[in-house]
Structure 1
Amino acid sequence: MTPPVPSLRFERKLESPSGLVIGCDEVGRGAIAGPLAVGMCVVDLTKRRRMPEGLRDSKLLSEARREQLEPVTLRWSVAHAIGFASAQEIDRYGLMAALGMAAHRALDELRMLGVAVDEVPIVLDGNYDYLGRAVPHRLTVHTKIKADQTCASVAGASVLSKVARDRMMIEHDAVHPGYGWSRNKGYGSEEHREAISRLGTTDLHRLTWLRAEEERASVVALPGFDDDGRQDDAMRVGEPLVSAVLDVD
């Protein structure tokens, strides 16, 4: 089945006095190394700017195509921000809390850019509002399953956050050679797993996830991820069942 072409139809139905809308998506959920990223792409609905041609959910695009789309998407948006949560934070607090931390940081960055995030509707990919739990004040969040495939603002956030995280992992590959991060971007490819067996882990590995995989290996065969992280949202392996009150300032 051919994926739908994203548009701004959903966004235009939302009440927004300023005419702005924020698309939000996460990247790196299924990786076994590296940070989790939450991207936000601000679009001005009052301006008839043409949506970047070929803009899609980042998981449906090749790495080369994402790189091509990034500068076009930056020009199309009026502001953007990307927040990160480290592997240590994921291990300590759990995946959902880490999502909230990364989102909080992205929202703070948008505020610094002059975006009144409290007054702008946010379209969040998925059916769970981790944004509302991450900040002490009220946000207008609209969750939507597969918003990264149908909503242009969210597709933009997906591309921007994916490109930023991939570049970060390529930089980390130079510091920690042997794991193939420039190719697998921290996902659990065969090359990456074999390197862990030979070299051990680094401070960028999500240790709770790796331990959980080891514990489950004798029970079920875990699906891997290809070198481009195509199963980014496919599995939530080893998420610690931890809830915490976080100071993310």
Structure 2
Amino acid sequence: MSPVEPRLTLERRLLREHAILIACDEVGRGALAGPVAVGAVVIDAARSRKRVPQGLRDSKLVPEHRRAEVAARAASWVSASAVGWASSVEIDEIGIIRALGLATMRALADLRAHGVVPEDAIVVLDGNYDYITPAGGTGLTIRPVTKADRDCASAAAASVIAKVARDALMTELHDELPAYSWARNKGYASPEHREAIRDHGISHHHRASWALLGEPTLF
């Protein structure tokens, strides 16, 4: 069975009532190390009438060797894009849900700095929970949509743009601490990553409150 191809059905409907649409999706939520990232993209009615970029899918469904080119096409298709971050330290301090809200607000602030007015938009958020409003997103119109990254082309674009950005960062961190093999596992709980934690302890890029209890911090 082939992967579901995202469409623009929901976007076109919502853009009848709103001037712009901002789609947001997170990557890195379940990782043991590294930040969480939230991609945010902007489309308007004109963009929603264009063809969905070739190969665009939820980032989890795009082969790794093709993600960069798909992300580049997605970035060219949307009106604007941004990636917001929350660090592993912030995740430990405030929890993952609040960190997701913080990262999203940072992505929206980046869009605002480039002339986008989020208050004019309908914000489509992948998932079934609005973590933006509690993070300070009052005045925004939030529309949580389950499986938006699978079904909505705008959310798929946000997903793959954020995924490529986060993977690039984790590859850079691998060069700093190669023992954890982050260039391959991107901070997720692969067997080699778990073994490295047992052998070396945790680093300052790990989320100490997650699956690393009892391990010493060596770096």
- Paired residue type of 1:14: L
Q: Which residue of 2 aligns with 1:190?
A: 191
Q: Which residue of 1 aligns with 2:38?
A: 38
Task: Report the CA distance between 1:80 and its aligned residue.
Answer: 0.5
Q: Which residue of 2 aligns with 1:108?
A: 109
Q: Which residue of 2 aligns with 1:126?
A: 127
Identity of aligned residues (%): 50
Determine if contact 2:58/2:150 at 8 Å carries over to the other structure. yes
Q: Which residue of 1 aligns with 2:173?
A: 172
Q: Which residue of 1 aligns with 2:67?
A: 66
Matches within 5 A, 1:158-237: 158-211=159-212
SS state at 1:164 partner: helix
Deviations 1:93-115 (A, max 9, x none): 10111011101101100100100
SS state at 1:127 partner: coil
Cα distance in 2 between the residues matched to 1:212 and 1:126: 29
Determine if contact 1:19/1:46 at 8 Å carries over to the other structure. no
Cα distance in 2 between the residues matched to 1:88 and 1:43: 33
Deviations 1:71-126 (A, max 9, x none): 11111011001110000110111011101110110110010010010111111100
Determine if contact 2:55/2:62 at 8 Å carries over to the other structure. no
Task: Report the CA distance between 1:4 and its aligned residue.
Answer: 2.1
Task: Report the CA distance between 1:50 and its aligned residue.
Answer: 2.2
Give the TM-score, by structure 2 length: 0.93
Determine if contact 2:15/2:44 at 8 Å carries over to the other structure. no
Give the TM-score, by structure 1 length: 0.82
Task: Report the CA distance between 1:35 and its aligned residue.
Answer: 0.3
Cα distance in 1 between the residues matched to 2:81 and 2:137: 22
Task: Report the CA distance between 1:43 and its aligned residue.
Answer: 1.4
Q: 1:79 to 1:121 in 2, by over 3 A?
A: same
Q: Show structure 2 runs of 5+ residues with no match.
A: none
Q: Which residue of 2 aligns with 1:217?
A: none
- Which has the higher mean CA deviation after the structures are superposed, 163-172 or 10-19? 10-19
Task: Report the CA distance between 1:18 and its aligned residue.
Answer: 6.1
- Paired residue type of 1:44: D
Query: Aligned Cα RMSD in Å?
Result: 1.6
The number of residues matched between the two structures is 214
Determine if contact 1:16/1:120 at 8 Å carries over to the other structure. no
Cα distance in 2 between the residues matched to 1:201 and 1:151: 37
More helix by share: 2
Q: Show structure 1 runs of 5+ residues with no match.
A: 215-249
Determine if contact 1:55/1:69 at 8 Å carries over to the other structure. yes
Task: Report the CA distance between 1:211 and its aligned residue.
Answer: 3.9
SS state at 2:116 partner: coil
- Paired residue type of 2:63: S
Q: 1:141 to 1:101 in 2, by over 3 A?
A: same
Determine if contact 2:105/2:137 at 8 Å carries over to the other structure. no
Residue 144 (1) aligns with residue 138 (2):
no
- Paired residue type of 2:43: V
Deviations 1:189-238 (A, max 9, x none): 01111111111111000111024699xxxxxxxxxxxxxxxxxxxxxxxx
Cα distance in 2 between the residues matched to 1:4 and 1:134: 32
Q: Which residue of 2 aligns with 1:153?
A: 154
Determine if contact 2:148/2:156 at 8 Å carries over to the other structure. yes
Cα distance in 2 between the residues matched to 1:45 and 1:54: 22
SS state at 1:143 partner: strand
Cα distance in 1 between the residues matched to 2:156 and 2:197: 33
SS state at 1:202 partner: coil
Task: Report the CA distance between 1:14 and its aligned residue.
Answer: 1.0
